[in-house]
């Protein structure tokens, strides 16, 4: 918890593991809530063993960079939820909590004795966030859902990759991440509602719904236009030219999303915007290969650095493709708070990808950034267990 941050003063119990739930818990921690991560004794969150890569700490233990990616700003306590002690400690935590996050398969929380009705009876103000793979009900509601499986089942892989015969997964676990993000949106709505009602709410989402929910124009191509979208590589299905194009020494990306930009693009490179078959965006989309050839011929004698400067001068949105090492070395990324330096108890100072939101106070004198001023490293297993138990004992006698 950090004073002054938007969710300061709220307590989150994070029972989740892997990525969707932990990402939601991390976001709530970034927003200032106190997040207590409950883990299994001995092993902890399964992502603690996901690797390589691992980094060896000063204690000789190997730490998973996967785990480090989604557990900052949390405390860890190890509890055996099948034991009387573990259930008693969790009960005490839930009684004091504002939000509970879990991503177990349907029915697990009930078997542990912490179903939705039991939780509501224990703490009527508790907001319960539950994330599953394919939904909590329906004909496949109890099905286990891991990210890549859901990317395939939810259609994302069919529209990703070089072509329809070579489906590709997105390079990050996007179903998990979107599940966590959408879960946080629901939690924030429930917190707002609780101000008026004084009562909590059960919030449910799934990896399936999170992918279907971001189909965007590809979805309406199917539901309204009756088309079945297919993968087509690095070029936009509805706008041209918009994509990755070869130049003399490498490749650049451009987005010519309207007729004004098409005119500016053609003027900069001495091209005729009224070239037959390329006059309008629908024409250029219908004649995509000719459009690509038209653009790449103009780029063929120009190196990427010069090309990007000319495109910028002409007002054409453009960019290069960076690898992740280049991204984290980019001044613009650090200027946006997208890298945070934290002190890990075993690894020392490490840098992590940072939170995506920034908050500002605004008055007559202008803007003043107002958010977390520091971040906590992802915890070692049970790192805060003794302190949390002591806090609960102190709370019990107040």
> What is the CATH classification number for the domain harbouring 41?
3.40.50.10540
Residues 29 and 133 in one domain: yes
In this predicted structure, what is the pLDDT of residue 119? 97
Residues 303 and 342 in one domain: no
Residues 25 and 146 in one domain: yes
Residues 64 and 180 in one domain: yes
Q: Which residue has the tokens 């780029």?
A: 299
Quick check: is 118 in a domain?
A: yes
Quick check: is 286 in a domain?
A: yes
Q: Which candidate, 60, 28, 67, places its Cα nearest to that of 44?
A: 67
Average pLDDT over residues 56-75: 96
Q: Which of 276, 292, 319 is the last residue of a domain?
A: 319
Quick check: is 4 in a domain?
A: no
Spatial separation of the C-alpha atoms in residues 104 and 77, rounded to whole Å = 18
Quick check: is 94 in a domain?
A: yes
Residues 315 and 372 in one domain: no
Q: Which of 290, 319, 348 is the last residue of a domain?
A: 319
Residues forming a β-bridge with 78: 39
Tally of domains in the chain: 2
Q: Which of 44-53, 120-129, 195-204, 367-376 has the lowest mean pLDDT?
A: 367-376
In this predicted structure, what is the pLDDT of residue 1? 55
Residues 122 and 48 in one domain: yes
Quick check: is 223 in a domain?
A: no
> pLDDT averaged over the chain?
94
- The range of the structural domain enclosing residue 299 comes to 242-246+251-319
pLDDT above 80 for 370: no
Quick check: is 62 in a domain?
A: yes
Kindly state the percentage of the chain with pLDDT values over 90. 91
Residues forming a β-bridge with 232: none
Spatial separation of the C-alpha atoms in residues 95 and 36, rounded to whole Å = 13
Residues 201 and 115 in one domain: yes
CA angle 342, 344, 346 (to 5 degrees): 160
Q: Which of 1-10, 14-23, 50-59, 219-228 has the lowest mean pLDDT?
A: 1-10
- Indicate which residue of 92, 98, 147, 176 is catalytic: 176
Catalytic residue list contains 283: no
CATH for 256? 3.30.1540.10
Beta strand residue intervals within 40-191, DSSP E: 54-56, 62-64, 75-78, 99-102, 127-132
pLDDT above 70 for 115: yes
Quick check: is 261 in a domain?
A: yes
Residues 264 and 351 in one domain: no
In this predicted structure, what is the pLDDT of residue 239? 95
Residues 18 and 109 in one domain: yes
Residue 125 CA: distances (Å) to CA of 14, 80, 190, 372 = 16, 25, 10, 26
Give the tokens for residue 214.
Answer: 């971001």
Give the tokens for residue 255.
Answer: 């987005």
Residues 170 and 305 in one domain: no
In this predicted structure, what is the pLDDT of residue 2? 65
Quick check: is 3 in a domain?
A: no
Burial of 194 (0-12, 13-18, 19+ CB in 10 A): middle
pLDDT above 70 for 150: yes
Residues 96 and 185 in one domain: yes
Residues 354 and 299 in one domain: no
């Amino acid at each position: 918890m950090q004073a002054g941050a938007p969710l300061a003063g709220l307590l989150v119990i994070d029972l989740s593991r892997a990525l969707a739930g932990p990402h939601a818990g991390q976001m709530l921690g970034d927003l200032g809530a106190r997040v207590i991560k409950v883990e299994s004794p001995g092993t902890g969150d399964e992502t603690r063993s996901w690797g390589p890569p691992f980094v060896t700490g000063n204690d000789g233990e190997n730490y998973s960079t996967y785990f480090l990616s989604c557990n900052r700003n949390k405390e860890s306590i190890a509890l055996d939820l099948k034991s009387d002690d573990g259930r008693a400690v969790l009960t005490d935590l839930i009684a004091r909590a504002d939000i509970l996050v879990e991503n177990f398969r349907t029915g697990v929380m009930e078997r542990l004795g912490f179903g939705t009705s039991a939780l509501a009876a224990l703490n009527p103000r508790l907001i319960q966030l539950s994330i599953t793979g394919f939904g909590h009900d329906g004909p496949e509601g109890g099905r286990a859902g891991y990210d890549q499986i859901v990317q395939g089942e939810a259609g994302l892989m069919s529209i990703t990759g070089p072509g329809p015969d070579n489906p590709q997964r997105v390079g990050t676990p996007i179903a998990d991440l979107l599940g966590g993000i959408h879960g946080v949106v629901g939690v924030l709505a429930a917190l707002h509602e609780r101000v008026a009602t004084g009562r909590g709410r059960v919030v449910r989402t799934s990896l399936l719904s999170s992918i279907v929910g971001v189909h965007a124009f590809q979805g309406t191509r199917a539901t309204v236009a009756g088309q079945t979208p297919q993968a087509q590589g690095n070029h936009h299905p509805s706008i041209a030219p918009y994509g990755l194009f070869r130049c003399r020494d490498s490749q650049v990306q451009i987005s010519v999303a309207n007729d004004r930009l098409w005119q500016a693009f053609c003027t900069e490179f001495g091209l005729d915007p009224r070239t037959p078959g390329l006059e309008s965006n629908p024409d250029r989309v219908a004649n995509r290969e000719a459009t690509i050839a038209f653009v790449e011929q103009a780029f063929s004698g120009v190196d990427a650095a010069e090309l990007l400067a000319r495109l910028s001068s002409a007002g054409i949105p453009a960019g290069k493709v960076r690898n992740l090492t280049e991204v984290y070395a980019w001044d613009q990324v650090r200027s946006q708070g997208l890298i945070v330096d934290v002190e890990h108890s075993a690894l020392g100072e490490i840098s992590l990808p940072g939170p995506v939101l920034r908050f500002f106070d605004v008055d007559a004198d202008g803007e003043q950034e107002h958010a977390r001023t520091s971040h906590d490293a992802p915890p070692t297993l049970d790192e805060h267990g003794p302190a949390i138990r002591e806090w609960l004992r102190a709370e019990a006698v107040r």
